[in-house]
């Protein structure tokens, strides 16, 4: 199943991702005393290993002054570059840009992390206040005419500068980034663009706040335990704990995940309760209350279309895809359309089988979305003699982490991990590991934050606290965040196979970040196009069922014995079960994303619900029993997480990862030699090479769709 990933919105204005030594800030931030300035932990680089954030010293009140002073400092640095009387050179312009804004980068990376994973009302207020200022700051850099003239001058003579390959890539990166941002616009057009950017940033922060509140309010609350019949004892305990954390005595709470379908829908026996849970999810942001997001997203879509027109593009998707692998909306639409017939045919067969199963049980009702997963699970059990309760005892979170992910990283890449208890964290469930390379040298820090909280955004993602850069002398500090159900005290965290795959997915992103080996922060690690960034993560999912790895981590939490081979075979046989459904809901979401972002500026403000239905019907994807994985009103990927006109990237990258894994299987599978090749040719290259060439150099051919169709059971 496609996983959710967020390369968390790293402040638009941040050039570098690492921190560098800088002088302590002057106390010239409005409204701050010298004592506050002196004590702000962001104003000097952290003295912790790898410059890890000093969370034991960081207070909510530190973020705003650090962000604002960071912007002020960077604008002073930019002015110095733009006004430099010396002729523009690679060093005094391009490298200077790479080194600018280090305070702002340092605070932004931490601020983005906590506002996504551990927010509160103070942080949300700062986020809303600073969002338009940060957008304006971004424009002050990329719409700076004098600065652009220097960049353009260097770009024009780049072939004569005798630069190394990565430096040439950086010159092209900056020139294209300035042009893409609107550097060639007239003064009047730039003024209009700045206003649109500020409004969009403000609305994105508003959307984020509303969605978090709506998701919390949409949780299913029940007073009668019998209504939750079908949940496992661990599931009931978790529901009880969730209620207790909200101060709801004698009740049970099932919090919402960010997707349309909810995990417990496959277990709950009460059809009315299933319907209520589904509707809570489906309507979370459409209750005509303070948390309704529809007017916000309708305006964001309109703003984006207007921006695209201003920048000379027919729609936002055309502008956004210019620097992606796919290049054009037409290429994406052709890619998606090519998968629709086989996917829908598969889904219709599955629907017919589930409807027949319902009828055979003596219950005669039409298949609805809140019934699909419940009866699909029953059908899977009947067909393969397999259900989730058989699997979970073998998937203990700590085993999956240490004996699964870490073992895979050792076998493929030679990495070792040591848990640290002296590094401060932002929440008590967060853990920290030091990562050592194959030669024993320190490589990175790795943080994990696996359990759901009401103040955490839904989904799962990876990001950096500190990025890798040889120029800045920094090594990666990366983290993984998920939303697994926290077990009751004293109980082990038992995962579904879906959860296990999520862990392998996000760890694939983490490895991509850890293996970054670039000179320049802008080209480092996961700073690659959306339709390439999911390649390493989805590739890593394949190792979850690889025999040597599975037998190492899939151990029964009571007996310590490995998963029986018969159960393993059942999981493998059932791997393509329900794939028509799974693939359909993802294609629907990708289609919705493209529909919103191919609207021309001349289109009127849309009605979100009518637009959503009409778009799906137009592309033959309106299937009542299979709703999109994300409804427009809570599609956080495209309204907040930077995946606008980019949700197709999960499917595009799946094509790449399945093809690459086929290469592994035909060359010996899990070997240190293969791991070194993948690390050297893919994971460590960042944005230093053309992505199609990078893939072709690794596999020996251009990307092929056939392996993906094979793994999905569609061919």
Tokens of residue 526, six digits: 């996961």
Which residues pair with residue 481 across a beta bridge?
Answer: 449, 461
Give the pair of three-digit tokens for residue 184.
């060639």
β-pairing verdict for 416-420 and 252-254: unpaired
CA distance 634 to 176: 32
Cα 632 from Cα 682, distance rounded (Å): 34
Cα–Cα distance, 8 to 11 (Å, whole number) = 9
Q: 434 Cβ partners below 8 Å, 6+ apart?
A: 49, 417, 418, 420, 442, 444, 445, 446
Q: Which residues contact 554 (CB under 8 A, 6 or more apart)?
A: 394, 395, 399, 562, 563, 568
Q: Is 105 in a helix, a strand, or coil?
A: helix
> Among this protein's residues, is 569 annotated catalytic?
no
C-alpha span between 713 and 696 (Å, rounded) = 25
Q: Which residues is 469 bridged to in the sheet?
A: 474
Question: Given CA atoms 587, 8, 486, 50 in this order, what sign does their dihedral have?
Answer: positive
- How many residues can be counted in the chain? 715
Q: How many helices (H) and strands (E) does the chain have?
A: 28, 7
Beta carbons of 647 and 637 less than 8 angstroms apart: yes
**In the β-sheet with 477-484, what is the strand arrangement from edge to edge?**
416-420, 431-436, 442-451, 477-484, 461-466
Give me the residues paired with residue 431 across strands: 448
Q: Which residues contact 161 (CB under 8 A, 6 or more apart)?
A: 90, 154, 171
Do the strands 442-451 and 477-484 form a parallel or antiparallel pair, or are they unpaired? parallel
Q: Cα 517 to the chain's mean position, in Å? A: 22
Active-site pick, 206, 506, 518, 585: 506
The Cα angle at residue 222 between residues 220 and 226, in degrees rounded to 5: 125
Residues carrying an active site annotation: 506
């Amino acid at each position: 199943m496609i996983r959710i990933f967020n390369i968390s919105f790293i402040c638009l204005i941040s050039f570098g991702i690492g921190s560098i030594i800088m002088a302590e800030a002057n106390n010239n931030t409005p409204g701050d005393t010298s004592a506050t300035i002196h004590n702000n932990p962001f104003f000097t680089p952290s003295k912790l290993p790898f410059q890890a954030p000093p969370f034991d010293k960081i207070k909510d009140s530190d973020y705003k002054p650090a962000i604002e002073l960071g912007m002020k400092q960077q604008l002073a640095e930019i002015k110095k570059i733009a006004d430099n009387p010396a002729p523009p050179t690679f060093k005094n312009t391009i490298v200077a840009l790479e080194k600018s804004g280090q305070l702002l980068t340092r605070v932004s990376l931490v601020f983005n992390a906590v506002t996504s994973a551990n927010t509160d009302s103070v942080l949300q207020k700062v986020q809303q206040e600073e969002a338009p200022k940060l957008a304006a700051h971004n424009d002050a850099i990329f719409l700076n005419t004098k600065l652009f003239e220097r960049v353009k001058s260097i770009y024009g003579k780049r072939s004569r500068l005798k630069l190394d390959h990565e430096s040439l890539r950086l010159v092209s990166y900056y020139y294209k980034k300035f042009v893409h941002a609107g550097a060639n616009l007239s003064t009047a057009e730039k003024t209009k663009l700045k206003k649109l950017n500020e409004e969009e940033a403000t609305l994105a922060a508003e959307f984020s706040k509303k969605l978090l509140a709506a998701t919390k309010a949409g949780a299913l609350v029940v007073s009668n335990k019998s209504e939750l019949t079908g949940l496992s004892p661990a599931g009931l305990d978790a529901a009880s704990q969730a209620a207790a954390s909200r101060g709801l005595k004698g009740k049970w709470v099932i919090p919402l995940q960010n997707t349309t379908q909810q995990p417990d829908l496959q277990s709950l026996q009460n059809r009315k309760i299933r319907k209520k849970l589904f509707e809570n999810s489906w309507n979370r942001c459409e209750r005509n209350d303070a948390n309704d997001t529809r007017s916000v997203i309708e305006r964001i879509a309109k703003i984006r279309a207007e921006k695209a027109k201003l920048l000379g593009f027919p729609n936002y998707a055309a502008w956004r895809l210019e620097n992606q692998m796919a290049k054009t909306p037409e290429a994406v639409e052709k890619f998606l359309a090519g998968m629709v017939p086989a996917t829908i045919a598969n889904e219709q067969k599955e629907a017919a089988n589930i409807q027949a199963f319902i009828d055979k049980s003596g219950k005669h009702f039409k298949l609805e979305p809140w019934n699909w997963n419940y009866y699909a699970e029953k059908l899977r059990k009947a067909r393969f003699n397999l259900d989730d309760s058989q699997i979970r005892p073998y998937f203990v979170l700590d085993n999956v982490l240490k004996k699964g992910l870490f073992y895979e990283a050792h076998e493929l890449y030679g990495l070792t991990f040591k848990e640290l208890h002296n590094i401060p964290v932002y929440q008590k469930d967060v853990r920290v590991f030091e990562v050592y390379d194959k030669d024993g040298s320190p490589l990175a820090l790795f943080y994990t934050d696996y359990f759901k909280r009401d103040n955490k955004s839904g989904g799962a993602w990876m990001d950096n606290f500190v990025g890798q850069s040889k120029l800045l002398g920094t090594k990666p500090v990366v983290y993984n965040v998920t939303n697994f159900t926290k077990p009751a005290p004293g109980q082990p965290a038992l995962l579904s196979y879906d959860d296990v795959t999520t862990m392998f997915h996000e760890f694939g992103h983490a490895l991509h970040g850890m293996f970054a080996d670039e000179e320049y922060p802008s080209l480092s690690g996961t700073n690659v196009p959306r339709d390439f960034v999911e390649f390493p993560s989805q590739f890593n999912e394949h190792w979850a069922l690889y025999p040597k790895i599975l037998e190492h981590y899939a151990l029964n939490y009571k007996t310590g014995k490995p998963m029986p081979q018969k159960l393993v075979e059942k999981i493998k046989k059932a791997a393509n079960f329900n794939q028509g459904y799974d693939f359909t809901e993802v294609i629907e979401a990708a289609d919705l994303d493209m529909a919103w972002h191919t609207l021309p500026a001349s289109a009127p403000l849309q009605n979100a619900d009518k637009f959503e239905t009409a778009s799906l019907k137009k592309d033959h994807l309106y299937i009542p029993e299979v709703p999109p994985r994300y409804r427009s009103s809570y599609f956080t990927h495209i309204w907040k997480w930077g995946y606008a006109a980019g949700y197709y990237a999960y499917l595009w990258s799946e094509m790449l990862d399945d093809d690459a894994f086929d290469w592994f299987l035909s060359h010996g599978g899990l070997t240190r030699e293969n791991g070194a090749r993948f690390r050297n040719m893919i994971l460590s290259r960042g944005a230093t090479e053309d992505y199609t060439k990078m893939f072709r150099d690794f596999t020996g051919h251009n990307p092929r769709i056939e392996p993906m169709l094979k793994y999905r059971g569609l061919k």
